[in-house]
Each structure stands twice: as C-alpha cells, then as structure tokens.
C-alpha cells in the first residue's frame, strides 16, 4: 500500500487513536526505521521509548493506569513488552489491546494454509517480513519473537485480542488468547467475521472495521472504569 492509500490509512489510525483518547492520554511510539530494525533491538527501542510507565507523573499522568496495544507487529511488541515488564520486576501495564497480533513466527497454524494467498496479507509476505526482522540463526520460537512460546504467562495484565476471519495470523492470535486464559489471565477474544488483516486502517470505508475499532476503544475505556 502506498501513496494516497498510505496517507488515508494513517489518517484513519489517527481517528482510532482519538477514540482511545476518550479513555485518557495516548502516547504513540514511533518506529523510525521500521522493519530495518532487527529483533531485540526493535522491541527494546519501543519499550525504552515508553517512558510513561516510569515517568508518567512528570507529565501529569497516572503511571499505574497504563494500557498498551498495537496491531500486527505492533501487537507483538506490546505483548512482549508486557511479559518482559513482569519478568524484570517493572510496573506491568493495566491492560493490553492486541489487534491481529503476530505471536508465532513458525507460521505453522492452519490459517497460514487456509489464507496463504488472496486475502491481502499472504504467507509469502510474512516469510519476507520475518527474513528482514530475524537475524540468521534466530530461533523462531524465542518468546520475544513468538509470545505464544513464552514458558510462563501468569501475572500478566488483562488482554483484549481481536482477530480477522480471513487472516493468516488468525489462529496464532486466538491461540495466544487461549494460553493467556489457561495461565489465569483475563483475556477477551473477538473474531471479526468477513474481515482481513489490516482492517484497523479501513474503518472509513468498511463499516465492520469501524465497529471493530470502536470495540477496542470501548474495551480500553471499560478496563479503567
């Protein structure tokens, strides 16, 4: 996607952020180098930038009431950041919103076969993305690559997981929600019928996508009520 379509997608994501602002302040973390940042460096860069957890009071925020979230690779980073915060004894966010998250770099789930082609995001796309992100020899089951393979998930914050019906990533997102529940973590899972990967940027033209964005905003808001 490029040109005016890319600009339109950014504009709608800004609208989604504005809806989140009804829940409180929103801090967006930019990834200047995008996929050129390799595994470990990328997620740590994002987590380091999220100083709101440690320095929220300096900005007039309540750093004990923080939600993190993202879509696709951003949801992967959010899930990893939450677990790493717990592992390091840092403040764990209050809530996590994960929209069609990347949780399993082995690409072994059935949805990768069912939707390998023809539904915007393809298996070939994901193979290329992982080739850019992972250094040669990186274990795709490393829990900071694939949150689904984290050995322990108890103690994480409640999660809202949204998946798309026609998405290669559908099954791994739903499997991660299942693992969270098995670990005693409150996890709400919603599969959006008829939608494809990337719908979070399509709300201006796809009514079902718009409703899904509103559902995420509502989940975040309710988490703090």
**Average pLDDT score over residue span 54-58:** 66
3-223 homologous superfamily: Alpha/Beta hydrolase fold, catalytic domain (3.40.50.1820)
How much is the pTM?
0.85
pLDDT tier for residue 42 given thresholds of 50, 70 and 90: low
Helix (H) / strand (E) containing 198: none
**Average pLDDT score over residue span 58-81:** 85
pLDDT tier for residue 85 given thresholds of 50, 70 and 90: confident
Whether residue 217 contacts residue 187, with contact meaning beta carbons closer than 8 Å, is answered with: no
Instruction: Compute the distance between CA of residue 160 and CA of residue 40 in angstroms, rounded to an integer.
Output: 24
Active site residue 171: no
Between 100 and 15, the higher pLDDT residue:
100
List the one residue out of 27, 57, 33 whose CA is nearest residue 45: 33
Active site residue 15: no
Active-site choice (119, 171, 197, 201): 197
Say whether pLDDT at 127 is over 60.
yes
Instruction: Compute the distance between CA of residue 217 and CA of residue 225 in angstroms, rounded to an integer.
Output: 13
Alpha helices in 68-122 (DSSP H): 73-87, 110-114
Active-site choice (72, 111, 146, 201): 72
Active site residue 109: no
Q: Would strands 187-196 and 95-99 be described as parallel, antiparallel, or unpaired?
A: unpaired
The residue assigned the tokens 């990347």 is: 102
Instruction: Compute the distance between CA of residue 116 and CA of residue 122 in angstroms, rounded to an integer.
Output: 5
Q: Would strands 187-196 and 67-71 be described as parallel, antiparallel, or unpaired?
A: unpaired
In the chain, where are the structural domains located? 3-223
pLDDT tier for residue 175 given thresholds of 50, 70 and 90: very high
Active-site choice (109, 167, 171, 201): 167
In DSSP terms, which residues pair with 164 in a beta bridge? 192
SS3 at position 159: strand
């Amino acid at each position: 996607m490029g040109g005016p379509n890319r600009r339109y997608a950014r504009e709608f994501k800004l609208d989604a952020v504005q809806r989140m602002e009804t829940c409180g302040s929103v801090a967006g973390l930019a990834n200047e180098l995008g996929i050129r940042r390799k595994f470990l460096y990328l997620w740590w860069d994002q987590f380091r930038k999220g100083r709101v957890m440690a320095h929220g009071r300096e900005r007039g925020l309540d750093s004990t009431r923080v939600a993190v979230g993202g879509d696709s690779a951003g949801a992967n980073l959010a899930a990893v950041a939450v677990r790493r915060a717990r592992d390091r004894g840092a403040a764990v966010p209050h809530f996590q919103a994960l929209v069609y998250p990347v949780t399993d770099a082995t690409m072994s789930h059935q949805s990768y076969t069912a939707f390998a082609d023809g539904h915007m995001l393809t298996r070939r796309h994901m193979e290329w993305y992982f080739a850019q992100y992972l250094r040669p020899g990186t274990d795709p089951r490393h829990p900071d690559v694939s949150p689904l393979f984290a050995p322990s998930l108890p103690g994480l914050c409640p999660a809202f997981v949204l998946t798309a019906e026609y998405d290669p990533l559908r099954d791994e997102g739903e499997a991660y929600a299942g693992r969270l529940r098995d670990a005693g973590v409150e996890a709400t899972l919603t599969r959006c019928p008829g939608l494809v990967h990337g719908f979070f940027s399509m709300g201006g033209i796809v009514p079902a996508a718009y409703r899904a964005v509103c559902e995420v905003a509502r989940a975040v808001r309710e988490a703090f009520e």
